[in-house]
C-alpha cells in the first residue's frame, strides 16, 4: 500500500502530469494513424463480434431468451472485455516499445504504462456512451443502481492497471510472455460469462459458478449488467456468500499493490535490459 500511495503522489506532480498528458495524446494518435476510419475501429471491432454472437445466441442457440434486453447485456460484456484485453496487451509491450525514451530521459517509468491504460480507458468511456444510447433505444429503464457504474468502471481500470504493471515488467526479460498472454486471454474469454449468461454455469455446476464469480472481471461485468441493463443479472453476492464474495475486491487490491511494488523494483534496471 505504501508503494501504491507513493506511485499516486508522484504521478500528480506538475512535470509528471504534463508528461502523462503528452504520452496519452501520442498513444491515442498513433493508434489510429493512417487509418481511414480512425477511432471508429475501436467501436467496429466489438460491434462486429457482437453482431456475430447476437445472431448465433439469439437466432440459433437462443441463449438470451430468458434475459431482458439481452442485446445490451451481450454488448456491454464485450465492450468491457475488449477494454481489459486492450489495456493489458498494450501495457505488456509498453516499456519495451518506449525503450528509446527510457534510455534518453529520466522519469518515472510507470507513466508509460498508465498512459497506455488511460488511452484504453478513453476508448472504453466512448464505447460505453454508445452502449447507453443503445440501451435507451432498447427500452432499458435505469434505476438508482446505475450510480454504481462509475465505481465499477474504476475497479476494472485498477485491475487492468495492476495486471499491466506486472506484465510490462516481466516482458522486459521474458518476451514469450506476449504469446502466453494471448492464450490466457483466449481461454479466459470463454471461462468468464461474457458471451453467455451466468445462469448457464449455475445450472451446470454451482461450485463452478462460485469459482467463476471470484474472478474480478466476472464480478465487474455482472455487477455492471445489474446496474445498467437488468436486475435479473446475477451478481457475486447472489452466488457466493460473505466473506468469500469480497474476494474479487481483495484480488484487485492485491494486484494493484503487487504490481506497483514489483514494477518499481524492476524499473531501476529497464534502461540496461531493454
Residue with cell 492485491: 254
pLDDT tens-place string over residues 113-137: 998 898 889 888 888 888 888 888 8
Q: How far is CA 56 from CA 64, 71, 75, 103, 217, in A?
A: 10, 12, 14, 50, 23
Helices in the chain by DSSP H: which ranges? 2-11, 14-31, 40-55, 70-97, 99-104, 110-137, 149-171, 177-191, 198-204, 206-212, 216-228, 236-239, 247-267, 270-273
pLDDT of residue 166: 96
- Of the pLDDT bands very low, low, confident and very high (cuts 50, 70, 90), residue 97 is confident
Dihedral of CA 198/204/209/212: which sign? Answer: negative
Residue 198 has pLDDT above 70, yes or no: yes
Range with the poorest average pLDDT among 8-12, 31-35, 232-236: 8-12
pLDDT tens-place string over residues 221-230: 999 999 998 8
Amino acid at each position: 500500500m505504501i508503494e501504491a500511495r507513493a506511485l499516486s503522489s508522484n504521478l500528480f506532480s506538475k512535470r509528471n502530469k504534463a508528461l502523462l498528458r503528452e504520452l496519452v495524446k501520442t498513444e491515442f494518435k498513433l493508434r489510429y494513424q493512417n487509418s481511414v476510419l480512425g477511432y471508429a475501429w475501436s467501436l467496429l471491432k466489438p460491434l462486429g463480434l457482437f453482431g456475430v454472437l447476437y445472431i448465433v445466441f439469439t437466432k440459433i442457440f437462443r441463449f438470451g431468451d430468458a434475459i431482458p434486453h439481452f442485446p445490451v447485456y451481450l454488448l456491454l460484456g464485450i465492450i468491457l472485455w475488449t477494454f481489459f484485453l486492450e489495456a493489458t496487451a498494450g501495457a505488456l509491450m509498453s516499456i519495451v516499445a518506449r525503450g528509446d525514451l527510457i534510455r534518453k530521459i529520466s522519469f518515472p517509468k510507470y507513466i508509460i504504462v498508465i498512459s497506455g491504460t488511460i488511452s484504453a480507458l478513453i476508448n472504453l468511456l466512448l464505447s460505453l456512451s454508445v452502449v447507453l444510447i443503445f440501451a435507451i433505444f432498447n427500452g432499458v429503464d435505469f434505476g438508482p443502481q446505475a450510480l454504481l457504474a462509475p465505481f465499477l468502471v474504476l475497479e476494472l481500470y485498477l485491475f487492468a492497471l495492476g495486471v499491466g504493471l506486472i506484465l510490462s515488467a516481466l516482458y522486459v526479460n521474458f518476451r514469450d510472455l506476449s504469446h502466453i498472454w494471448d492464450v490466457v486471454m483466449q481461454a479466459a474469454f470463454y471461462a468468464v460469462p461474457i458471451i453467455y449468461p451466468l445462469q448457464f454455469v449455475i445450472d451446470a455446476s454451482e461450485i463452478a459458478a462460485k469459482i467463476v464469480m471470484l474472478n474480478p472481471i466476472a464480478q465487474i461485468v455482472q455487477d455492471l449488467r445489474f446496474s445498467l441493463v437488468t436486475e435479473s443479472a446475477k451478481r457475486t453476492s447472489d452466488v457466493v456468500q460473505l466473506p468469500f464474495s469480497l474476494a474479487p475486491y481483495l484480488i484487485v487490491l492485491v494486484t494493484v499493490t503487487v504490481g506497483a511494488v514489483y514494477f518499481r523494483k524492476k524499473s531501476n534496471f529497464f534502461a540496461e535490459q531493454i
